[in-house]
Structure 1
Amino acid sequence: MATATHGEAPGSNGAEGVEMVEANELRRRGKPGDGRAASAASPARDGAGAGAGAGAEEDEAAAGAPSVERAFAGQPVPSWREQLTVRAFVVSFFLAVLFSIIVMKLNLTTGIIPSLNISAGLLGFFFVRLWTKAIESVGLLKQPFTRQENTVIQTCVVASYGLAFSGGFGSYLLAMSDKIAAMSTEANDAQNIKNPQLGWIIGFLFLVSFIGLFGLVPLRKVMIVDYKLTYPSGTATAYLINGFHTPQGAKLARKQVKKLGTFFVLSFVWGFFQWFYTANIEECGFQKFPSLGMQAFDNRFYFDFSPTYVGVGMICSHIVNVSILLGAILSWGIMWPLIAKKKGIWFSADLADTNLHGMQGYRVFMAIALILGDGIYNVLKISILTAVSLRSQLKKSNASTLPISDDAIVTDTAPVSYDEERRNELFTKDQIPWYVALGGYVVIAAISIGTVPQIFPQLKWYHILVAYIFAPLLAFCNAYGSGLTDWSLVTTYGKLAIFAFGAWVGASHGGVLAGLAACGVMMNIVGTAADLMGDFKTGYLTLASPRSMFISQVIGTAMGCVIAPCVFWLFYKAFGNIGVDRSEYPAPNAAVFRSMAILGVDGFSSLPKNCLTLCYVFFAAAIVINLIRDLVPKKVSRFIPIPMAMAIPFYIGAYFAVDMFVGTVILFVWQRLDRAKADAFAPAVASGMICGDGIWVLPQSLLALAKVKPPICMKFLSRTMNDKVDAFLTTLS
């Protein structure tokens, strides 16, 4: 997952969230995280910063400044087979399980997925270094730990836990279930419902998760060497790994791991402590603490003492956190209370809050309007940038790169630095034959065309065929745009598939389920292609073989196809209320995705009164805000909120926005007091908080499965309600 609030998706090495929470896209943007937050792999707090930093370092190298590769000149580069070690994949497996649990929890709570690249790279470095030190102490070390092996681990882990996001467990896949379907009176018949089962989920992921890896492999040299696409998140990750393997970097890494471990333990213990006060009842515990008052609590404004989202707030950029809080204030503080006063006028007073024809409809569809406005604007923007760049490349036959920025055009006449020459030599050494890529794509596509309709009868073989015909083009656009801007619009392409295939199949033939399934097919193809190119960029800058990178991506994807569904199944069985509004795991994106699918087949008839007008307003507002952000100077645009981030709290409430704002305040103060230490250790501290609280889910799930309930319910009442309770208890005495 590339970095984001993955990432993407949990992309790859730098990705973002989903619709309501397009973490992957937000993350890739470096703005918040499909969604593939800022690249945590770099001190830069956003994708642009990471890209600029990487570009600056390359320019310095070209100008004769200290060279990265000269520092490693005395170390031989291992062959691609030597980079693929057993210890690397053993460590990758355990880290993949750890991060899959974390991403799954985030995916099922708010859908915001921060960049965990730095944690994957850092912990991979730490555990293998421990391994090699122990073996070296007894004289049995045969192969030293290299940055290429570190890159393989990072790539494998990110590819694996990325499926915990792109697998749709908190979005399109869960949206197929009867629990989510029950929220609406439309399309809740049997042909539009498919409840999760471990077997078909694993099979579906194996069918659709690999094909994207083969689609763009033949273009790797063109996009990385010839066009010199930046891939800011991949670049930032590479510089992080290169830094680890210098003496100074190794020393800093040990300090970062110590910080991560300290806050991991504190966060885990805090999760254990909180559990005692929940009594397995939704309204009990610290997570329901009315810290801002009872009226604010009723409108979902409170601090819920979540180390996870405080940590996420420390990883995301400040403007992302502020945008989310502004969105929470706009929705839960202003709009929803005003619309609630129209109950009985705009919608029936008898409807439950979770009904899409009542309040829930305004929350969901207005969030969708913001998300679609933001997504369509950025698709058009990236498409124009891509077209202009390709046209410029064709016109300037002597240029070896695309105009990534107005002042950063490199031509063939520019001097080639030692670093670039060395990297080009090794990157083109281990070729991946074109016939392997083409053959792999055709074979996997043929298998999918024959078997996916067996899982989803609503999708016919010709639907899958059409998807696979257009997928390489869309994958190229997404990978190219991601290389230029670090924005992965994978979930936007998924939403387009929902509308296109849902309308094609039709409401009477299970169009809602078909649209959601097509979304999963498209997201996996388009997302993994962009992720792989970002990984190739990382490998290019660390001298890792493209062949070893490709194989590690394949192995990581295979791990994820099993690990992610098993982790989801643990959540699904241990916590029976997944997807239910105001539960511990509300999975907000599931309702959003299903609502989109219903909208795609039924049109606007499913919207409550005046909702369409408000949707038009918010759709236009998202486009206008983005346009203003792009037109004004950067020193001004960094203070303008991000529409995608603002849409995130519309559905689930403001509590996590408060948590994230606390995180951003902590980071802001730390940066003011000591910027160097904040940049060096804040990602490690935040990752420790996220990992500790996330891994607590594992023992919590086991306790739930064993029917062990917490002994205490800590619940808060207003003074008036407390007086009534006291009076009632008096009558019983």
Structure 2
Amino acid sequence: MGVIEVEEGKHTKDVNAFADLPKPAEDIQEQLMNDKVPEKEFSVEELFAAMEVPPWWKQITLRGIIVGVVLGFVFSIITLKLSLTTGVIPSLNISAGLLGFFFIKSYTQVLSKLGIAHTPFTRQENTVIQTCVVACYGLAFSGGFGSYIIGLDSKTYNIINEGNSDTHDSMEDIKDPQLGWIVGFMFSVGFLGLLAVVPLRKIMIIDYKLTYPSGTATAVLINSFHTPHGYKEAMKQVLYMGKYFFFSFFFSMFKWFFSGLNDACGFDSFPTLGLKAYQYKFYFDFSMTYVGAGMICPHLINVSLLLGGILSWGLMWPLLEKKAGDWYPADAVKGSNLQGLYGYKVSVAIAIILGDGLYNFVKISGITLWSLYKTQGKKLPVKADDAALEEINHDEQRRTAMFMKDRIPFKVAAACYVVLAIVSTISVPHIFPQVKWYYIFISYIMAPVLGFCNAYGCGLTDWSLASTYGKLGLFVFSAWAGANGGVLVGLVSCGVMMVIVSCSADLMQDFKTGYLTLSSPRSMFVSQVIGTVMGCIIAPLTFWLFWNAFDVGNPQKEYKAPYAIIYREMATIGVQGFGALPKHCIDMCYGFFFGAMLVNFIRDKPLKKWAGYIPIPMAMAIPFYIGPYFTIDMFVGTVIVYVWQKLNLKKAKLLVPAVASGLICGDGIWTLISAILALAKKAAPLCMTFLPSKTADHMGLPAY
């Protein structure tokens, strides 16, 4: 986070804001408040040297858990909305840390003004709250509520098999979503990833000193919140977040009144670029969620998304429409028949995703193995002697001592892993009878290795390959099971693998955050467990709300769940190969598959210095299937950030995450309310739609 410039003579000392600081530390803090000494002259841990670190069980508080539940629910709604519409989910860690700080700090200030004694709010408690929230909404993503869970249902089955008689996708590969089995499945597989890599925390954090950029950035932010300068910045961020939260909320409510009874009404179908462009899904739909996501995502991601939309819906699909009756049946231009134009959209998107995923899998695995090879012969001290300690700065000494203080015994972690693996191996086949127990057993043998690889690679590159490992499991197990339930087996195995490796990387990110904020590893692990328990309940409940309130999974509706089709089609390909696709579709898939790998190679090798200007294939693939409308919203977000950075870089670095979070959260809360209205059968009173002038004239519409 950047530091905002503050004008001279406008500093104010808020005594209540720093009432939690012990007296010995106030000397340094007051110097910083009065700008007598630059903050950079003190190391982070010198600023907090006089503050006693609470024991691990006091870092986990009831008030923190309550805030974690509230924020976990909000962020689960946001994650699910993005998963069910675009599949693009930005990191919300900073928002979780900021909102956790705001809620608890506001609570303690109110108690201070009322003269009520309270426990001081520490950076360790702030870290625990952030960890709970991230673990909770992490399951809303890795739980597959926008991909493999919906890929199991009959609606997705019917879409894929419409008009396709030559298929090995049978009725026994269907499992319609029900709240009971979804919660049971989440509890069965949600905790294995935590135990798979917890014994390796010292190797990852202390010995190999992996950076974990997201975890480090979150720790820097939380540390800054609890210093005077950081507090002032945090309050400014909260002010902007609140302002744009209310703007987004009320604007979304305003839009709802014009949304009528169907998706052809309202601002979501506003033909901002003309009616012809609207036919090919080029329009700005005034979605504050997508604009906010565009502000958080890097510029290159947003540009890649837009280029992918232009390439597919602006060039390829209009050209392929002219091949109707030659390459595919003339009546298959529209609809969801995989033997028509729809088959090109899905298959080409899959080819790009697989090409990009395979390249990055090989790349990250190679980096991981090479890094391990280079460190193999080096002596890594378990206990540093006095001479070694002198070479380590004060911060590292204190952090290492705290990190090694509260050990999580290897035997305990291993025993818990074995017990949970046995329970899951028994329970998952009861939920899905087609999934044999030995599929799950083999998955759990592979899980620690894959979890380590993902956590290690994420520490080096900040790139989690959870979905790639999930697709790997999908192809392996669907091919193994064959025509007898192979599609369902592949999707479930994908889910098992994806949850495990995703949780492993998230846990190590949180350990890095805890290491840099002097949070106990035990408190971090327990908070991760609490957050996972929350996620196993909150994520399915939130999904169930969407499932009952909206037409989820319908390609023609807002919540089309694009990855559900893609994942099920991948499982079908794993069982039967590339049969029943339209003419030249396989050739195009091969071209885009190797093209994605080539573009990635060019980005990494020959033109590495220009990589920031070369599109990312994975991002380009997303609009191939669902359309470019959301990419325009996200591009608007990236333009706002670009202009803001040009006008005032420091202010933009500080406030962009807060403004983006406010836009996303405000729209997310209205989504919850609109879902409740939909369940109550309350439709919007007005329908705003657009017609060509000639059509409107022929209809004789009255003038008011």
Q: Which one of the candidate residues 183, 195, 205 is aligned to 2:176?
A: 195
Q: In the alignment, which of 710, 715, 720 is matched to residue 694 of structure 2?
A: 720
Deviation at 1:118, TM superposition (A): 1.2
Q: Which residue of 2 aligns with 1:340?
A: 321
Aligned with residue 485 of structure 2, among 498, 510, 533: 510
The RMSD of aligned alpha carbons is: 1.7
Aligned partners of 1:706, 1:419: CA distance in 2, in Å? 56
Pick aligned residue for 1:130 from 75, 92, 106: 106
Task: Look up the SS of the partner of 1:302 in the other structure.
Answer: coil
Distance 1:519 1:183 in 2: 21
Describe how 1:445-464 pairs up with structure 2 within 5 A: 445-464=421-440
Which whole-Å deviations, capped at 9, do the CAs of 1:544-572 have from their partners, x for residues lacking one? Answer: 00000000000000001000111111111
What residue in structure 1 maps to residue 185 of structure 2?
Answer: 204
- Cα distance in 2 for partners of 1:165, 1:187 equals 29
Q: 1:139 aligns with which of 89, 103, 115?
A: 115
Q: 1:302 aligns with which of 283, 303, 314?
A: 283
Do 1:235 and 1:538's aligned partners in 2 also have CA atoms closer than 8 Å?
yes
Per-residue deviation, residues 513-556 of structure 1 (Å, max 9, x unmatched): 11001011000111101110110000000000000000000000
Kindly tell me: are residues 437 and 118 of structure 1, through their superposed partners in 2, closer, same or farther at Cα, counting changes over 3 Å? same
AA matched with 1:86: L
Tell me if 1:677 matches 2:677: no
Look up the equivalent residue of 1:677 and give its one-letter code: K
User: Does residue 80 in structure 1 map to residue 91 in structure 2?
Assistant: no
CA shift for structure 1 position 375: 0.7
- Pairwise mapping of residues 223-262 of structure 1 onto structure 2 (< 5 A)? 223-262=204-243
Contact 2:2 2:651 in 1 (8 A): no
The reply to whether residue 111 of structure 1 matches residue 87 of structure 2 is yes
Partner in structure 2 of residue 556 of structure 1: 531
* Aligned position for 1:572: 547
Deviations 1:328-366 (A, max 9, x none): 000000011111111111111223431111111111111
In structure 2, C-alpha distance between the alignment counterparts of 1:311 and 1:118, rounded to whole Å? 14
Deviation at 1:413, TM superposition (A): 10
Find the partner of 2:339 among 334, 352, 357.
357
Distance 2:594 2:337 in 1: 26
Offset of 1:606 from its aligned partner?
Answer: 3.2
Counterpart-to-counterpart distance in 2, 1:376 and 1:412: 42
Quote the offset at 1:66 in angstroms: 3.4
Match of 2:595 among 621, 644, 657: 621
CA distance in structure 2 between the partners assigned to 1:723 and 1:414 by the alignment: 85
1:175 aligns with 2:156: no
1:3 alignment partner in structure 2 = none
Answer yes or no: is the 8 Å Cα contact 1:453–1:459 preserved in 2. Answer: yes
* 1:232-269 Cα distance to aligned partner (Å, 9 max, x none): 10000000000000011111111111100111111110
Contact 1:42–1:240 (Cα < 8 Å) also in 2: no
Contact 1:97 1:563 in 2 (8 A): yes
Aligned partners of 2:481 and 2:489 also within 8 Å? yes
Structure 1 stretches lacking a partner, 5+ long: 1-40, 44-63, 401-410
Corresponding letter in the other structure for 1:586: K
The one of 511, 519, 543 equivalent to 2:518 is 543
Letter in 2 for 1:295: K
Q: Which residue of 2 aligns with 1:659?
A: 633
The 3 A distance-change label for structure 1 pair 75 and 493 is same
Instruction: Using the TM superposition, name which of 136-145 and 279-288 deviates more.
Output: 136-145
Query: Which is further off, 83-92 or 630-639?
Result: 630-639
1:218 aligns to 2:192 (yes or no)? no
Aligned partners of 1:491 and 1:108: how far apart in 2?
16
User: Is contact 1:182-1:188 (8 Å) kept?
Assistant: no
2:468 alignment partner AA: T
% identical aligned pairs: 58
Task: Determine whether 1:375 maps to 2:375.
Answer: no
Question: Would the aligned equivalents of 2:308 and 2:622 in 1 still touch at CA under 8 Å?
Answer: yes
Amino acid across the alignment from 1:716: F
| TM alignment of 1:40-51, pairs within 5 A | none
| Aligned-partner residue type, residue 230 of structure 1 | T
Contact 1:181/1:187 (CA < 8 Å) preserved in 2?
A: no
Comparing both chains, which one has the higher relative contact order based on Cα–Cα distances under 8 Å and sequence gaps of 6 or more? 2
Q: Could you say which residue in structure 2 is the equivalent of 1:600?
A: 574
Deviation at 1:135? 1.9
Distance 2:406 2:225 in 1: 25
Distance 1:606 1:308 in 2: 37
Equivalent residue number for residue 690 of structure 1: 664
User: Which amino acid letter does the alignment assign opposite residue 393 of structure 1?
Assistant: T
Which among 83, 86, 91 is matched to residue 67 of structure 2?
91
Say which of 54, 77, 95 aligns to 1:101.
77
CA contact (8 A) 2:86 2:562 kept: yes
Structure 1 residue aligned with 2:298, among 297, 308, 317? 317
Change (3 A) 1:553 1:398: closer
TM-score using structure 1 length: 0.88
**What is the aligned length?**
657
Structure 1 residues 150, 500: closer, same or farther in 2, change over 3 A? same
CA distance in 2 between counterparts of 1:187 and 1:658 reads 38
In structure 1, how many angstroms separate the alpha carbons of the residues matched to 2:580 and 2:113?
Answer: 68
- In the superposition, the TM-score normalised over structure 2's length comes to 0.91
2:30 is matched with which residue?
Answer: none
Distance change in 2, residues 1:593/1:698 (3 Å): same
How far is 1:395 from its partner? 2.5
2:207, 2:380 within 8 Å by CA — same for their partners in 1?
no
Amino acid across the alignment from 1:125: F
Question: Where do 5+ consecutive residues of structure 2 fail to align?
Answer: 4-39, 162-166
**Aligned partners of 2:78, 2:168: CA distance in 1, in Å?**
32
Query: In 1, distance between residues paired with 2:609 and 2:311?
Result: 25
User: Counterpart of 2:13?
Assistant: none
| Residues 192 and 412 (structure 1), Cα distance of their counterparts in 2 relative to 1, 3 Å cut | farther
Q: Provide Cα deviations, 1:253-303, integer angstroms capped at 9, x if missing partner.
A: 111111001111111101111111111211000110110011110001000
Cα offsets for 1:136-159 (capped at 9, x unmatched) = 233333420000000000000000
What does the per-residue CA deviation read over 1:664-709, in whole Å, with 9 as the maximum and x for residues that have no partner? Answer: 1111001101111111001100110010011101111111111111
Alpha-carbon deviation of 1:457? 0.9
Distance 1:655 1:399 in 2: 54
1:428 match: secondary structure: helix
> What's 1:282 paired with?
263
3-state SS in 2 of match to 1:641: coil
**1: CA distance between counterparts of 2:106 and 2:61?**
15
Q: Rate the CA distance shift 1:239–1:612 in 2: closer, same or farther, 3 A.
A: same
1:635 Cα deviation after fit: 3.9
Q: Secondary structure at the match of 1:206?
A: helix
Give the CA deviation at 1:67. 1.0
Residue identity in the other structure for 2:508: M
SS in 1 for 2:674: helix
| Matched residue SS, 1:350 | helix
- Residue 151, structure 1, aligned to residue 157, structure 2: no
Change in CA separation of 1:42 and 1:655 when aligned onto 2, cut-off 3 Å: farther
- For the pair 1:328 / 2:277, whether they are aligned, the reply is no
Q: 2-side partners of 1:414 and 1:385: how far apart? A: 32
Within 5 Å, give how 1:621-660 maps onto structure 2.
Answer: 621-632=595-606, 634-660=608-634
Q: In 1, distance between residues paired with 2:224 and 2:477?
A: 46
